Structure 1
Amino acid sequence: MSEFQQSVTNGEQTSSFVLKKTVVMVGMMGAGKTAVGRMLAQLLDVPFLDSDQEIESAANMSVPEIFARDGEPFFRARETEVISRLLTGAPCVLSTGGGAFLSAVNQKAIAANGVAVWLDADLELLWSRVRHRDTRPLLRTADPKATLTSLFAQRVPEYSKADVRVSCAPPVPLDRMADRVAQELLLRPDVLETANA
């Protein structure tokens, strides 16, 4: 049982959760949106979806292949379509790509139908997580760290518009990060409530 589960357990009575809106994980590549999102979905006992995986499944291609063949604007248009569709389903935890929340259209759709949770990680932590991966099409440059630094500077002001900010510092295990997100969401009764079982 996680610390969060213990904190909402009342004596012998266990609590379950009622998620009222889809939780949309936003933030930089390497922030842990997919990994933390999966753990959060398990914790809340709701489905987990990943917009990049949904796009890959529909296109029968990987995100890097879509970028290479069709370009970023094409990918972003498909991303907006997928996010809009997923937001109309039952409440779940939805992980999005690092660029998804930069779109005003996506921000508006998320605000109307869900809650945006920004996993706020500092640049060094992000770099330590993405530096040895070749699955990030935007980092396929001569100086990937400089590219990441530039993306970070451009994107943080947009991420700061998210409804909920959860700091990734100091680095903590995934289950503890999921606990942190859940604790923040419980402060929003329009999003998440406990229901004693």
Structure 2
Amino acid sequence: MSEFKHNTSSVELAPSYSLHKTVVLVGMMGAGKTAVGRALAARLGVPFLDSDAEIESAANMTIPEIFARDGEAFFRAKESQVIGRLLSEKKGILSTGGGAFLTEKNRNMITERGVSVWLRADLEVLWNRVRHKDTRPLLRTENPYATLRALYEARVPIYEQADLIAESDGDTAIEDMVDRVLRSLLTRPDVLERT
């Protein structure tokens, strides 16, 4: 009579988590907010929200079209409204446009109702990710690299005010980035707990 042994110790169950506040990913264009945000939401089993996608859907226009027709000030006002609405709805992972966190009103709203995580990437990583895309209205200039560098230098001191930071380098796989963000979030039991 043969005996079967079942080794249950080799089967690892993925940890489960309880999300208490919406996680708002902030940072420069090309930092990975959308890709990491989608994967993080899937891992946690919560909704993924994208403020830019919500704005485009409401306006029935792309972000570049909104910039061209109505200007950046109009776009930023709509962006604040959308972020406020999304923070008031079901908890999840919210990816924001690169300029969203620059507005003090948005930073305060995010800190009060959620938690901000800056996906910090250096300038060269960002440039390698965005230089072949034509979907960035702020980079439609004569010298897009110089424009990106100027934006980067102006924005980094503001991104440094984020509640948490996760490094986004050019070599780390998305799932490993999710692990980095989770480790950061677990330092805040008011935001995320293992269950």
Query: Which TM-score band (shorter chain)?
Result: over 0.9
Q: 1:10: how far off?
A: 11
Q: Distance in 1 between matches of 2:72 and 2:85?
A: 20
Percent identical among aligned pairs is 61
Size of the alignment, in residue pairs? 187
- 5 Å-filtered alignment, 1:173-192, equals 173-192=173-192
Output the TM-score relative to the length of structure 2: 0.93
Task: Tell me the alpha carbon deviations over residues 110-133 of structure 1, each in whole angstroms, 9 at most, x when there is no partner.
Answer: 010000000000000000000000
Match of 1:63 in 2: 63
Q: Distance in 1 between matches of 2:99 and 2:10?
A: 40
What's the C-alpha RMSD, in Å, of the aligned pairs?
Answer: 1.5
Match of 1:126 in 2: 126
Report if the CA contact (8 A) 2:117-2:164 is conserved: yes
Q: 1:171: how far off?
A: 2.5
Larger radius of gyration: 2
Gaps of 5+ in 2: 1-8
Distance 1:126 1:12, change over 3 A: closer
Distance 1:12 1:157, change over 3 A: closer
Q: Distance in 2 between matches of 1:125 and 1:14?
A: 31
Match of 1:92 in 2: 92
Q: Distance in 2 between matches of 1:12 and 1:144?
A: 47
- 5 Å-filtered alignment, 1:68-83, equals 68-83=68-83
Gaps of 5+ in 1: 1-8
Q: Distance in 2 between matches of 1:129 and 1:167?
A: 15
- Per the alignment, in what secondary structure is the counterpart of residue 129 of structure 1? helix
Q: Structure 1: which 4+ aligned runs deviate by more than 2 Å?
A: 9-15
Match of 2:156 in 1: 156
Q: Distance in 2 between matches of 1:102 and 1:38?
A: 23
Distance 1:77 1:18, change over 3 A: same
- Per the alignment, in what secondary structure is the counterpart of residue 142 of structure 1? coil
Match of 2:22 in 1: 22
Match of 1:40 in 2: 40
Amino acid at match of 1:117: V
Task: Tell me the alpha carbon deviations over residues 88-142 of structure 1, each in whole angstroms, 9 at most, x when there is no partner.
Answer: 1121000000000000000000010000000000000000000000000000000
Match of 1:141 in 2: 141
